[in-house]
Structure 1
Amino acid sequence: MAGSGQVIDIDSLVDSQKIGALVVRIVALSLLVQCADGFDLAAMSYAAPELIHSWHLAPSKLGPVFSAGLIGMAVSGPLLGYVGDRFGRRVAILVSTLVYGVFSLLMAVAPDLQVMLLCRFILGIGLGGLLPNTVALNAEFAPRRLRATLIIVMFMGLAVGGILPSVVAITLQAHFGWQVFFVVGGIGPLLLAVVLYFLLPESIKFLVARDGEVSPSATKWAAQLRPDLRIDKHTRFVAAAPRQGTHDFKPNLLFADGLGGITLLVWLLFSAALIVNFFVNSWMPTLFRASGLSIDQTAVTQAAYYVGGIVGGLLISRLIDRWGIVPIMAYFAIGGPVVAAIGTPGLSHMALTGMVFLTGACVLGSQLGMNAVTGMIYPTSIRSKGAGWASAVGRFASTGGPIVGGWLIARRTPLPQLFLAPLAPLAIGAIGAALLLYLCHRRFRELRLGETRAQPAGGDTLPPISRN
C-alpha cells in the first residue's frame, strides 16, 4: 500500500484496478444516458406511420425530418467533443442531456413539419454530444483489459432505448397518439440530468491532463477508484500519454503521430455502420405496417432488432478486447446476406423477426464495436474530439440512409430489392475493417488496441507507483 508523497502513473492506476462501485456507477449512468439516443430514433420510426396518416403526408416527406436529427448530431459531434476536452466530459454530458430533453418535448407540440424539422435538428445537437463524451469518460475509467467490454456495455443503452418505444406503442399510443413518444423521450432525460448532476464524476485522466501532477479533484476520484491505496492531497499523478493543452486543439492532431490512415478508416467504418443502421431502422415499422403486420406485431419485430443489438454488442465487446478489429470485419461481412434476407418474399412473422434479430446483432454490433474502438486508440487529450469527429462524419454520411429509403419507397421498389441497398456500405465496411486491422496491428504490435504506440523492447516505462 502506497503512502503519502507518492507519485502514481495514472494509466497504471486505472489498468490495475479491480472493478468497484465507482466504475459500475459510471457505466450504469452512461447506459441510461445512451438510452436517449436509441429511444429517439426508434420513437420517430414508431411515430411515423400515425404522423403520416394524421398530417396526410407522403412517406418520403418524413425523410428530411429523420435526417435533420442526424445532421444535428453531426454538427455537435466535434463541437461538444471540444467542450468535453476543454471543460470536462461531465459538463458536456449534462448539457447534451438537457438539450435533448427540452427539444423532444417541443417536438410533441410542433404544429407543422417545418417546426418539427427544426426541433429535431436541435434535438440532434444534444444527442450528438453524448457519444464522444460518454465514450471518453468510460474509456478513461476502464482498465485496458476490459475497456471495449465496458464501453459496449455502456452502449447497450442504445439497444435498451430502442426497445422502450415498442412498450410505449403497445401501452400508450392508442390513448395519447404519436405525441406520447416525444413526451416520454423528453421527460426521461430531464429527470436523468438531475441524477447525473449529483452522481456522475469527472474523468481522472482528464483532470490530470488539465491540472497537471497535483489535482485535488483527481485525488478525490482516484481515492474512490482505488480504496486499496492510500491516496491523499500530497499524491502526484503522471501519465504516459503526452499532456496536450485542451484549448489549442486542431483537427490535424487526429492525423498526427501515425494516426492519419487509422482516423480515415475509422470515419469510413462509422459511416458504413450508421448508413445501414439508419436506412434499416428508420423505415422498418412503416414497411412492416404497409405489408400487413399489426401494431403489436410491428412492435415485437422492431424490438427484435435491438435485442439482437444487445446480444451482438455483448459478444463483440469481449472479442474486441482480445482480437481488436477482427470481429468488426466479421460483423460487416456477415451483415450483408442477413440484411438482404429481410426482404425475402413469403417470410412468416416468426422468420422475419429472426432475420431482424440477426440484422440487429450484425449492424448494431458493428456500430457499438466502432464506438469502443474510438475510445481505445486516441490519447486522453483528444479522445472526446476523436470520437466526436468520427461520429460527425458518420452522422453526415448516414443522413443519406433515411432519404434513400424514402426515395426507394416512393418509387414503389419491391421489398427484396429495397433490402439489397445496404449491401454496398456493408461490403465497403468489411474491406475498410481489413485495412484498419493491418494499420492497428502495425501501430500497437498486437491485435489488442491501445491509446499509445507500443514501446520498443527495453523501452522506458513509467512505474505504476513510486515514492519520492
Structure 2
Amino acid sequence: MNTQRAIDVRQLINDRPLGAYQLWVVFLGFLIIGLDGLDVAIMGFIAPQLKADWNLSTQALGPVLSAALVGLAAGALIAGPLADRFGRRIVLVSSVFFFGFWTLATAFSSDVTQMVILRLLTGLGLGAAMPNASTLVSEFAPDKRRSFLVTVAFAGFSAGAAGGGFLSAWMIPAFGWHSMLLFGGALPLLVAPLLWLLLPESISFLVAQGAPAARVRRIVERIAPGASSAQSHFCLPSAPVTAKTSVGLILSPHYRFGTLMVWAGYFLALFLVYLFSSWLPMLVKEGGGYGVGEAALVTALFQIGGPAGALFVGWSMDRFNPYKVLVLAFAGSAALIFCIGQATTHFLLLCVFACGIGFGLNGTSVGMNALATCFYPTQARATGASWMSGIGRFGAILSAFAGAQMMALGWSFPQMFAALTLPALLGALVIAAKGLARQRRPQALGAVSR
C-alpha cells in the first residue's frame, strides 16, 4: 500500500479481520470490568456477617450498601471528561488503583460512618472504570462487531460478581468478612501496575489529540503489521466540532436530543435491573407466599439470564437496527414483568419468567453502553458513555426507595409487577424516539453509521 498518504485508523480497523491484539484489549477490558464487578458486589457478600458482628440494624446497614452507588454516579460523571482530555489508559489504570486502595482501606473501618465514607470513595473509582473500559474496547473494535465486543467485555462484571460470591462462601466463614475486603482491595492493586505496562492507549484518541505519528504507528503495527511505514501519517473521519469541551459536545444541538434519550433509557434500565436484583427475593417471599429458598432460586435465575441476554443483544445490535433491538428488549421485558405478576401460584412459571426478565433487562442495560460508544465521536466518546453511566446510577439509587415504597403500600403481587411494566415500556418509547430522530438527522462523521 502507499504509506505516504494518510491512513484512516478507523477504516484500517474496519477493513481487517479481528486480530489477536484487539482480542487482547477486549480481555483487558473484561478484566477491568470483572474487578469492578467484584468490588461493587463485595458489600452484599459481607453484609450478613457485618450486621451480626457489629450488631447493626437493617436501617443502619442501608447507607453502607448504597454509598458506593452514589460514588459510582459521581465517578462516572468526573472520569468521562478526564478520559477525553488525558486519555483512556491513564484514567483506567488510576481508577483500578483508586478503588483497590479504598476497598483495602475499608477492611480496617472501625465504625459505620467510616465505612460509608470509604465506600463512597471506592465508588468514585468504580464509576470511572466501567464506562471507560467499554470506550477503549469500542475504539479497538471494527464497527461491524463493536456492540458484541463491548458486551463481551461487560460480561466481566457478572464474572467478577459471581466469582466473589463463590470466594465469599469459603473465605468469610474461614477468615471473617475482613478477608473479602482485603482480597478485593489487594487484587486491583496488583493488577494496576500490569495494566500500566500492558494496556494500550486508544489509537482513535491519539490521532484525535494529534499525538506523534511514531506513537500511533507502534499501535497500528500491533493491529496490522506492515500496514504503515515511518513516513505514514494518520487521521480519523472528521466530526463536527460544535463545542470546546466534551461535555459541551454531547449537549450541543446535534447530540442533545440523543443524549437525553440515552440518559433516560439507561436510567430506566438500571432502575429495573437494580430493583429486581435487590427486591425480587422479598417480593417473591412476601408477595408470592414462598419460602426463603424458593425466593432465592427465582432471584438466582434472574441473574443467570443476564449474561446470555447481554451477549445476545450485543450480537443482534451488530446485525440489525440497534434501536429496534433495544426497543424489542425493553418491550419484551415489560411483557415478562407483567406475566410474572400473574404467575403467583405457578412456581415453575415464576422461575421461567424471572430468567427471561434477567435476559431482557440486562440485555438492555449492557446494550445501552454499546449504543453510547457508537453514538458519540472520538472527541466525546468517553464523556458520552460515562455521563450516561453516571445518570443511570441515579436510577439504581432510586430503585431502593421504590421497592421499599411498593412494599409499604401493601400492593398485591400482580399490582407490583403491573406497575413495573411502566418503566420498561417508557424505556422502549425513549429508545424508539432516539432511533426515529437518528433517521431524520444525518449521521455525524466520526461516530458509527448504522
3-state DSSP class of the match of 2:99? helix
Q: How has the CA–CA distance of structure 1 residues 96 and 428 changed in structure 2, closer, same or farther, with 3 Å as cutoff?
A: same
Partner in structure 1 of residue 150 of structure 2: 151
Query: 1:382 is aligned with what amino acid?
Result: A
The yes-or-no answer on 1:280 pairing with 2:276 is: yes
Q: How has the CA–CA distance of structure 1 residues 450 and 360 changed in structure 2, closer, same or farther, with 3 Å as cutoff?
A: farther
Identify which of 252, 255, 264 aligns with 2:251: 255
Partner in structure 1 of residue 292 of structure 2: 293
The yes-or-no answer on 1:92 pairing with 2:91 is: yes
Partner in structure 2 of residue 62 of structure 1: 61
Task: Give the whole-Å Cα distance in 2 for the aligned partners of 1:222 and 1:79.
Answer: 30
The yes-or-no answer on 1:270 pairing with 2:269 is: no
Task: Give the whole-Å Cα distance in 2 for the aligned partners of 1:173 and 1:289.
Answer: 26
Query: 1:81 is aligned with what amino acid?
Result: G
Question: C-alpha displacement at 1:300, in angstroms?
Answer: 6.2
Task: Give matches, 1:319-358, under 5 Å.
Answer: 319-321=316-318, 322-339=320-337, 344-346=343-345, 348=347, 352-358=350-356
Question: C-alpha displacement at 1:36, in angstroms?
Answer: 2.8
Q: How has the CA–CA distance of structure 1 residues 67 and 98 changed in structure 2, closer, same or farther, with 3 Å as cutoff?
A: same
Q: How has the CA–CA distance of structure 1 residues 338 and 102 changed in structure 2, closer, same or farther, with 3 Å as cutoff?
A: farther
Task: Give matches, 1:129-278, under 5 Å.
Answer: 129-211=128-210, 214-227=212-225, 229-242=226-239, 248-249=244-245, 251-256=247-252, 258-278=254-274
Any stretches of 5+ residues in structure 2 without a counterpart?
none
Do 2:9 and 2:204's aligned partners in 1 also have CA atoms closer than 8 Å?
yes
Do 2:34 and 2:156's aligned partners in 1 also have CA atoms closer than 8 Å?
yes
Question: C-alpha displacement at 1:108, in angstroms?
Answer: 3.0
Task: Give the whole-Å Cα distance in 2 for the aligned partners of 1:181 and 1:419.
Answer: 35
The yes-or-no answer on 1:310 pairing with 2:321 is: no
Query: 2:381 is aligned with what amino acid?
Result: R
More divergent stretch after superposition (57-66 vs 284-293): 284-293
Do 1:66 and 1:282's aligned partners in 2 also have CA atoms closer than 8 Å?
no
Higher relative contact order (CA 8 A, sep 6+): 1
Q: How has the CA–CA distance of structure 1 residues 53 and 423 changed in structure 2, closer, same or farther, with 3 Å as cutoff?
A: farther
Task: Give the whole-Å Cα distance in 2 for the aligned partners of 1:156 and 1:33.
Answer: 11
Do 2:378 and 2:447's aligned partners in 1 also have CA atoms closer than 8 Å?
no
Question: C-alpha displacement at 1:419, in angstroms?
Answer: 4.7
Do 2:301 and 2:351's aligned partners in 1 also have CA atoms closer than 8 Å?
yes
Partner in structure 2 of residue 458 of structure 1: none
Partner in structure 2 of residue 465 of structure 1: none
Number of residue pairs matched by the alignment: 445
Q: How has the CA–CA distance of structure 1 residues 454 and 50 changed in structure 2, closer, same or farther, with 3 Å as cutoff?
A: closer
Do 1:204 and 1:221's aligned partners in 2 also have CA atoms closer than 8 Å?
yes
3-state DSSP class of the match of 2:66? helix
Q: Report which of the two has the higher share of helix.
A: 2
Q: How has the CA–CA distance of structure 1 residues 260 and 244 changed in structure 2, closer, same or farther, with 3 Å as cutoff?
A: closer
Task: Give the whole-Å Cα distance in 1 for the aligned partners of 2:353 and 2:171.
Answer: 27
Do 1:37 and 1:158's aligned partners in 2 also have CA atoms closer than 8 Å?
yes
Do 1:268 and 1:429's aligned partners in 2 also have CA atoms closer than 8 Å?
yes
Query: 1:83 is aligned with what amino acid?
Result: L
Question: C-alpha displacement at 1:116, in angstroms?
Answer: 1.9
Query: 2:163 is aligned with what amino acid?
Result: L
Partner in structure 1 of residue 397 of structure 2: 399
More divergent stretch after superposition (197-206 vs 351-360): 351-360
Report the TM-score when normalising by structure 1.
0.85
3-state DSSP class of the match of 2:292? coil
Task: Give the whole-Å Cα distance in 2 for the aligned partners of 1:186 and 1:411.
Answer: 40
Q: How has the CA–CA distance of structure 1 residues 41 and 292 changed in structure 2, closer, same or farther, with 3 Å as cutoff?
A: farther
Any stretches of 5+ residues in structure 1 without a counterpart?
456-468
Question: C-alpha displacement at 1:313, in angstroms?
Answer: 1.0
Query: 1:315 is aligned with what amino acid?
Result: F
Question: C-alpha displacement at 1:306, in angstroms?
Answer: 3.6
Query: 2:35 is aligned with what amino acid?
Result: A
More divergent stretch after superposition (162-171 vs 319-328): 162-171
Identify which of 405, 423, 426 aligns with 1:425: 423
Q: Residues 6-26 of structure 1, C-alpha deviation per residue, up to 9 Å, x if partnerless?
A: 321122112112111110000
Q: How has the CA–CA distance of structure 1 residues 351 and 187 changed in structure 2, closer, same or farther, with 3 Å as cutoff?
A: farther
Task: Give the whole-Å Cα distance in 2 for the aligned partners of 1:279 and 1:268.
Answer: 16
Partner in structure 1 of residue 376 of structure 2: 378
3-state DSSP class of the match of 2:355? helix
Task: Give the whole-Å Cα distance in 2 for the aligned partners of 1:409 and 1:65.
Answer: 21
Task: Give the whole-Å Cα distance in 2 for the aligned partners of 1:52 and 1:412.
Answer: 27
Do 1:74 and 1:393's aligned partners in 2 also have CA atoms closer than 8 Å?
yes
Report the TM-score when normalising by structure 2.
0.89
Do 2:330 and 2:364's aligned partners in 1 also have CA atoms closer than 8 Å?
yes
Q: How has the CA–CA distance of structure 1 residues 27 and 379 changed in structure 2, closer, same or farther, with 3 Å as cutoff?
A: same
Question: C-alpha displacement at 1:310, in angstroms?
Answer: 1.2
Q: How has the CA–CA distance of structure 1 residues 453 and 32 changed in structure 2, closer, same or farther, with 3 Å as cutoff?
A: closer
Do 1:331 and 1:363's aligned partners in 2 also have CA atoms closer than 8 Å?
yes
Q: How has the CA–CA distance of structure 1 residues 453 and 258 changed in structure 2, closer, same or farther, with 3 Å as cutoff?
A: farther
Partner in structure 1 of residue 365 of structure 2: 367
Task: Give matches, 1:15-34, under 5 Å.
Answer: 15-34=14-33
Partner in structure 2 of residue 51 of structure 1: 50
Query: 2:245 is aligned with what amino acid?
Result: F
Task: Give the whole-Å Cα distance in 1 for the aligned partners of 2:378 and 2:396.
Answer: 27
Question: C-alpha displacement at 1:41, in angstroms?
Answer: 3.9
3-state DSSP class of the match of 1:424? helix
Question: C-alpha displacement at 1:367, in angstroms?
Answer: 0.4
Q: How has the CA–CA distance of structure 1 residues 435 and 91 changed in structure 2, closer, same or farther, with 3 Å as cutoff?
A: same
Task: Give the whole-Å Cα distance in 2 for the aligned partners of 1:40 and 1:340.
Answer: 33
Instruction: Report the RMSD for the aligned CA atoms in angstroms.
Output: 3.0
Question: C-alpha displacement at 1:54, in angstroms?
Answer: 3.9
Do 2:103 and 2:118's aligned partners in 1 also have CA atoms closer than 8 Å?
yes
